[in-house]
Amino acid sequence: MPNPWTGRGNPYTRTEVIERFNDTLSKGEAIIVAGAGSGISAKFIEKGGADMIIIYNSGRFRMMGHGSTAGLMAYGDANAIAMEIGEYEVLPVVDEIPVICGVHATDPRRRMWHWLGKVKEMGFSGINNFPTHSIVDGHFRGVLEETGMSVEKEFEAVGLAHKMDMFSIVYVGSPEEAAKMAEQGADAIIAHVGTTVGGSIGVRDAVVSWEDTIAQTQAIIDAAKAVRDDIFYLCHGGPINTPEDADRVIQATDCVGFVGASSLERMAVEESLTNLTRQFKSITINR
């Protein structure tokens, strides 16, 4: 059942979240998951009918006016930020939408089994691996792998979450990572194809083509499917910025949904505030 103390809302068990996702699909609807960096965002994302909210540190940076990549930098304690947003902003204002906590699993200062226990105790219904080293490449990725901050720790955290009956929805950047997440028991896999385009702080040139986006997304799905057949697949990032973009990828791949962070929370604020302010400024004084 939902929250055993109130009878409604978070925390949900892993099985309950899976049942909710399957119910969405049984209606012929895509699964829509949204990142939220503030209570007001979460409140109205739920009113819009999203199936899940994920809280991670990049959401706070977005709400400060900075790009999501700030969440990958040493600008704050990613785990503490996500926990704080959940405790004081999002969990108190949402009604019954499942809320997931972004976990920086490579944080060397934390015993991950202990931290996940705190996440569960706070009332979150599962975890997401953000900040994630799966979207870091090149020489720096090699350094991380060799110095105790390997993406393997993210796989291990998902395995722990599975043992603790916590739903896991995870980012991966390659087919190899998708297979390893599937082996650890990930419930939903997000094919991450890069930072979202568009808006005032989105990328413009550092983006993959549509052809590569679709091919990479399907390759990730195929790799995980070779391990298990009970995983939900969602698309995210790169040129996927609008509902039409998400639909394009879903129709061309085996994806059943979309994860929007910048494309939902940030773009909505940028567009609505700009347009509404312009409307107010169009008022004239004829005296």
Condensed to tens digits (0 to 9), the pLDDT of residues 170-199 reads: 999 999 999 999 999 999 999 999 876 544
pLDDT tens per residue, range 228-242: 999 999 999 989 989
pLDDT tens per residue, range 243-271: 999 999 999 999 999 999 877 887 788 88
pLDDT the model gives residue 204: 56
Closest CA to 125 of 5, 2, 29: 2
This prediction has a pTM of 0.91
pLDDT the model gives residue 196: 62
- Range of the structural domain that residue 69 is part of: 14-281
pLDDT the model gives residue 229: 97
Beta-strand relationship, 167-172 and 232-236: unpaired
Beta-carbon contacts of 259 under 8 Å, excluding residues fewer than 6 positions away, are 33, 34, 35, 54, 169, 190, 234, 235, 236
Residue 108: asked if its preceding bond is cis (omega within 30°), the reply is: no
Question: Per the domain annotation, does 261 fall within a domain?
Answer: yes
Q: Are 191 and 255 in contact (CB under 8 A)?
A: yes
CA 15, CA 141: separation in Å to the nearest integer? 34
Question: Per the domain annotation, does 5 fall within a domain?
Answer: no
For Cα atoms 30, 258, 70, give the angle at the middle one, nearest 5 degrees.
160
Question: Per the domain annotation, does 109 fall within a domain?
Answer: yes
Q: Which two tokens stand for residue 130?
A: 């953000």
pLDDT the model gives residue 36: 94
Question: Per the domain annotation, does 126 fall within a domain?
Answer: yes
Looking up residue 201, the CATH number of its domain turns out to be 3.20.20.70
- 3-state SS record for the chain: CCCCCCCCCCCCCHHHHHHHHHHHHHCCCCEEEEECCCHHHHHHHHHCCCCEEEECHHHHHHHCCCCHHHHHCCCCCHHHHHHHHHHHHHCCCCCCCCEEEECCCCCCCCCHHHHHHHHHHHCCCEEECCCCHHHCCHHHHHHHHHCCCCCHHHHHHHHHHHHCCCEEEEEECCHHHHHHHHHHCCCEEEEECCCCECCCCCECCCCCCHHHHHHHHHHHHHHHHCCCCCCEEEEECCCCCCHHHHHHHHHHCCCCEEEECHHHHHHHHHHHHHHHHHHHHCCCCCC
Say which amino acid occupies 206.
Answer: A
How many domains is the chain built from?
Answer: 1
Question: Per the domain annotation, does 2 fall within a domain?
Answer: no
Question: Per the domain annotation, does 4 fall within a domain?
Answer: no
For the chain, which ranges sit under pLDDT 70? 1, 196-207
Q: Which residue has the tokens 């390659």?
A: 174
Question: Per the domain annotation, does 6 fall within a domain?
Answer: no
Question: Per the domain annotation, does 7 fall within a domain?
Answer: no
CA 60, CA 200: separation in Å to the nearest integer? 16
